A and B are shown apart, each in its own frame.
Chain A
Amino acid sequence: MNALLRVLAALILTVFAVSCLPLVWQVPNQYTITARAPLAGTVTVMAGVAALIAGLVSAFLQPRWSSPALLAAAVAAWLAPAYATAAGIPAGLSAVASGTALLAPAISAHVAVSLPDGRVSGKQRRRALLLAYLVSLAFALLRVVAYDPFRDIACWSSCRPNPLAVVSWPEAGTLATAGALVTGSVVIVALTRWRRPEPSAVSRLAVIASGVLAAGLGLTAIGAVRAGGDPARALPAVSLVVSGTGIAVAGATVLAAAVGVSLRACRLRALVAVPEDNRIEAHLVDALRDPGVRIAYRVGGRLVDSEGGPAELLPVPGDRDRRHTRVVRAAREIALIEHRGDVDLTRELGPALRVALENEALRVESHVALAELRASRTRIVAASDARRRVLERDLHDGVQQALIALAWRLQTAGRAAAARGEGDRAQALGDALREARAALEELREVAHGIHPAVLANEGLGAALRSLALSAPIALSVEGTMPRLADAAESALHVFVASAVSVLAHQGVEGAHVALSAEGGRALVRLTPSREVAVRLDPIVADRLGALGGEVGADAMRAWVPMDHPPVARA
């Protein structure tokens, strides 16, 4: 339909241009509208010219929009009474020009309904507009073929004969004029949605323009019927002024919108030069002047925000207030942007910005993956710790009790045998008892090695002091630390135990362990009595890393964050 409209607009403008040519070298006569009603006429012409200029500038700024062309056509048709009566124009052309004027209300209605960029959404609305155009065309034809101004006594402007008139029906002129005007007003009123405008100057202007235009067209319709459209009379003059104002405001709206979009495009282009500080969303908010802009990235089938957390992009409601724009690159959806409904981001988002968004999406993806990886490491470490604690407890509760009971029965049996005088048997049972007790001793050490119970019960400080009692080097422990999650205390304990073992291997005689809690971290510092190079098993760093902590480069200190969510004690 756009192409058709452009053709229509071009036709009207051609008629306009051709008809205007004589004006260039001929002074308008007393039959022109400006002569007839100086104030109203001047306002009409000036409004028309202003709107025309606005339309031309907007067409230059936004070549894809149809509203500038439509506006120009509406103005051309609107000004027809002004130039159609000039003496130098051939009579036939004058008649056609007058007919063209009757298309002005329909075109103006089109502009009003589709401000600011010329798009009309909805099949029904487009059909209604088409109907309005057809009706107006009918009225225009009626005016051209049935009205001969020469034979009309009420004719107020250049009343020349109309060579194209096939019948003569004086009332046709008034009827056609009024009909076209009413059609135009009805369309504007019916199709413009009188809802609360968005808080932007352009949409407020659009509402005003539509309202004033409708009022003007309506008044002009009445004026056409009551006063024959003669601008010398009060009502038609006022109506001309009002509709002229409407056309001018419509022009201003189109221009303001076109300029706004151009400025926005400049801001969006400038965004590419912004340093990569992971705040594309904030910059987009600035560029679009829209605080409600949200960017969500698609990672692993979910929508996440720039921090990797779940994004709350509400589903698009029915109205045009907010829109979601999918950003696609290489056939993959990388981001979803929520923004104002009147911005066509798909078109305005340049390729450079898409690349920036893709980089951001990659960063978010890796951030999410890293977080999941860390969480899974933590779970694995915690699960393994829990298993060890359970194993230690099972060994103590189950096996040790059983061994003690066994030893006790061996002892009882041995005594009974001795009492009965069975020396050999008593001896054998005594040996078995000794072995059972040795097994008990060993069991205790194994269980302690798997997981020292004092670590879970009393904490890291007590466990390290206990470690110091049987350590292969002289270990002194100083300082305290608040209770941490089991996994954290375990990881730090493993660190000290392996460091001590390495130091002993290197022949170091002793070390000092200092526990402290500072800056949100639980810190363990080891000071050997002699400086040596220490390399720890990578599992030590792994366990601490899984909790968000780390081992120092010299392997002599380790820390975990104290606010790590504690894992439930098993």
Chain B
Amino acid sequence: MRVAVADDSVLMRRGVVEAIRGAGHEVIAEVGDARELLAAVAARAPDVAVVDIRMPPTHTTEGLDAAHAIRANHPDVAVLVLSQYVEAAYALRLIEDSPGRVGYLIKDRVLDESVLIDALARVVDGQTLVDPTIVAQLLGKLRHDDPLERLTTREREVLALLAEGMSNRAIAAQLFVAERTVETHIRSLFDKLGLADDPEHHRRVLAVVAYLRG
């Protein structure tokens, strides 16, 4: 896997780069702001770009804008946004803005290299990714006549993994069941929640996350 890394903090950048190299992948560019990232992506065509959400000049959400630009201009390049915000709004914005193959990961994950590498692999593979911490927050939200109460335990597990952006195959592997079983569960829970299923993976994740956020 060829990876480009963008983060204005040298410490963080080093950490990510070393984690990636440690797993045997190639870091083809290491930059400090969005402009340089876009140039590197255009020049070197990586498989995936890892972007900090907060970069110069305004230090707010430049990473999301960069992700949108990369996904629009280089559809083959996946983007993983690293953020210190456990903030569903940003994850939602990322998924809404960009047509798939994006992921939103909390920065602490840098410390879990396996999670980081796995996330990179998943977005390269075509999945959409939402950090489990955010999904936990979404599921933990208190709701009036909680519709989630109507789901069975299995269905709740499937819902959680769906929100994290896993494909049916990945969910099946995670839960050690057949893919067909997963499909049944999905149909059932979508029915119970009143959601319309969408064959397109990216839009399905978006629908679930948006529903959970309310």
User: A454-475: which have CB < 8 Å to B?
Assistant: 454, 456-458, 462, 465-466, 468-475
| A469 CA to B54 CA, complexed, in Å | 23
Shortest beta-carbon distance from B128 to chain A in Å: 20
Shortest beta-carbon distance from B16 to chain A in Å: 10
Please tell me which stretch of A14-22, A118-126, A132-140, A396-404 contacts chain B, meaning at least 4 of its Cβ atoms lie within 8 angstroms of it. A396-404
Please tell me which stretch of A156-164, A168-176, A405-413, A514-522 contacts chain B, meaning at least 4 of its Cβ atoms lie within 8 angstroms of it. A405-413
B213 with A440: CB separation less than 8 A = no
A462's partner among B60, B86, B89 (CB-CB below 8 A) is B89
Q: Which residues of B contact A397 (CB under 8 A)?
A: 9, 54, 59
Given contacts A404-B12, A404-B110, A407-B111, contact A472 B89 (CB under 8 A): no
| A454 CA to B84 CA, complexed, in Å | 12
| A441 CA to B136 CA, complexed, in Å | 14
Q: Which residues of B contact A468 (CB under 8 A)?
A: 141, 214
Q: Does A529 count as interface, using CB distance less than 8 angstroms?
A: yes
B61 with A457: CB separation less than 8 A = yes
Q: Does A354 count as interface, using CB distance less than 8 angstroms?
A: no
- Which interface residue of A400, A411, A457 has the most chain B CB atoms within 10 A? A457
Q: In the complex, which residue of chain B has the Cβ closest to the Cβ of A474?
A: B142
A454's partner among B85, B110, B143 (CB-CB below 8 A) is B85
Given contacts A393-B59, A458-B89, A465-B213, contact A470 B144 (CB under 8 A): no
B87 with A454: CB separation less than 8 A = yes
User: B134-166: which have CB < 8 Å to A?
Assistant: 137-138, 140-144, 146
Scan B39-57; emit 1 where CB is below 8 A from any A CB, else 0.
0000000000000001000
B140 with A404: CB separation less than 8 A = no
Q: Does A453 count as interface, using CB distance less than 8 angstroms?
A: yes
| A397 CA to B89 CA, complexed, in Å | 20
Q: Does B99 count as interface, using CB distance less than 8 angstroms?
A: no
| A468 CA to B144 CA, complexed, in Å | 12
B142 with A472: CB separation less than 8 A = yes
Q: Does A28 count as interface, using CB distance less than 8 angstroms?
A: no
B144 with A408: CB separation less than 8 A = no
- Which interface residue of A400, A401, A440, A465 has the most chain B CB atoms within 10 A? A401
| A401 CA to B213 CA, complexed, in Å | 28
Q: Does A477 count as interface, using CB distance less than 8 angstroms?
A: yes
A510 with B144: CB separation less than 8 A = yes
| A390 CA to B64 CA, complexed, in Å | 22
Q: In the complex, which residue of chain B has the Cβ closest to the Cβ of A478?
A: B214
Q: Does A298 count as interface, using CB distance less than 8 angstroms?
A: no
Q: In the complex, which residue of chain B has the Cβ closest to the Cβ of A459?
A: B89
| A404 CA to B142 CA, complexed, in Å | 31
Shortest beta-carbon distance from B89 to chain A in Å: 4
B142 with A471: CB separation less than 8 A = yes
A510 with B142: CB separation less than 8 A = yes
| A444 CA to B9 CA, complexed, in Å | 18
A444 with B86: CB separation less than 8 A = yes
Interface size band for A:
35 or more
B89's partner among A402, A441, A465, A509 (CB-CB below 8 A) is A465
Q: Does B200 count as interface, using CB distance less than 8 angstroms?
A: no
A476's partner among B15, B108, B144 (CB-CB below 8 A) is B144
Q: In the complex, which residue of chain B has the Cβ closest to the Cβ of A462?
A: B89
| A396 CA to B85 CA, complexed, in Å | 9
Q: In the complex, which residue of chain B has the Cβ closest to the Cβ of A458?
A: B89
Given contacts A396-B84, A444-B86, A462-B89, contact A408 B111 (CB under 8 A): yes
Q: Which residues of B contact A509 (CB under 8 A)?
A: 144
Q: Does A6 count as interface, using CB distance less than 8 angstroms?
A: no
Given contacts A466-B88, A468-B214, contact A405 B15 (CB under 8 A): yes
Q: Does A437 count as interface, using CB distance less than 8 angstroms?
A: yes
Q: Does B23 count as interface, using CB distance less than 8 angstroms?
A: no
Q: In the complex, which residue of chain A has the Cβ closest to the Cβ of B87?
A: A454
Scan B84-100; emit 1 where CB is below 8 A from any A CB, else 0.
11111110010000000
Shortest beta-carbon distance from B88 to chain A in Å: 6
Q: In the complex, which residue of chain B has the Cβ closest to the Cβ of A407?
A: B111
Given contacts A397-B59, A405-B12, A411-B111, contact A470 B89 (CB under 8 A): no
Shortest beta-carbon distance from B9 to chain A in Å: 5
A474 with B143: CB separation less than 8 A = yes
Q: Which residues of B contact A470 (CB under 8 A)?
A: 137, 140-141
B107 with A404: CB separation less than 8 A = yes
| A405 CA to B61 CA, complexed, in Å | 22
Q: Which residues of A contact B89 (CB under 8 A)?
A: 454, 458, 462, 465-466
B15 with A453: CB separation less than 8 A = no
Given contacts A457-B60, A470-B140, contact A408 B15 (CB under 8 A): yes
Q: In the complex, which residue of chain A has the Cβ closest to the Cβ of B60?
A: A457
A475 with B12: CB separation less than 8 A = no
Given contacts A404-B108, A476-B214, contact A466 B11 (CB under 8 A): no
Shortest beta-carbon distance from A317 to chain B in Å: 55
B61 with A437: CB separation less than 8 A = no
Q: Which residues of A contact B137 (CB under 8 A)?
A: 469-470
| A440 CA to B84 CA, complexed, in Å | 10
B138 with A469: CB separation less than 8 A = yes
Shortest beta-carbon distance from A541 to chain B in Å: 27
Q: Which residues of A contact B110 (CB under 8 A)?
A: 404, 408
Shortest beta-carbon distance from B111 to chain A in Å: 5
Q: Which residues of A contact B9 (CB under 8 A)?
A: 397, 401
B144 with A474: CB separation less than 8 A = yes
Given contacts A404-B107, A408-B15, A411-B111, contact A469 B144 (CB under 8 A): no
Q: Which residues of A contact B108 (CB under 8 A)?
A: 404, 407, 437, 440-441
| A468 CA to B141 CA, complexed, in Å | 7
Q: Which residues of A contact B107 (CB under 8 A)?
A: 400, 404
Q: Which residues of A contact B60 (CB under 8 A)?
A: 453, 456-457
Q: Which residues of B contact A433 (CB under 8 A)?
A: 111
Given contacts A408-B110, A440-B108, A458-B89, contact A473 B142 (CB under 8 A): yes
B84 with A469: CB separation less than 8 A = no
A469 with B11: CB separation less than 8 A = no
| A471 CA to B137 CA, complexed, in Å | 11
User: B68-121: which have CB < 8 Å to A?
Assistant: 84-90, 93, 107-108, 110-111
- 17 inter-chain pairs at a CB distance below 8 angstroms, sorted by A residue, are A397-B9, A397-B54, A400-B84, A404-B11, A404-B12, A404-B110, A408-B110, A411-B111, A454-B85, A454-B90, A457-B60, A466-B88, A470-B141, A472-B142, A473-B142, A476-B143, A509-B144
9 nearest CB pairs, A to B: A474-B142, A405-B11, A462-B89, A469-B141, A457-B60, A474-B144, A510-B144, A408-B15, A469-B137
State the A residues within 8 Å of B (CB): 393, 396-397, 400-402, 404-405, 407-408, 411, 433, 437, 440-441, 444, 453-454, 456-458, 462, 465-466, 468-477, 509-510, 529
Supplied contacts A396-B54, A408-B111, 9 more A-B pairs, CB within 8 Å: A400-B84, A405-B11, A405-B15, A408-B110, A466-B89, A472-B142, A474-B141, A474-B143, A477-B214
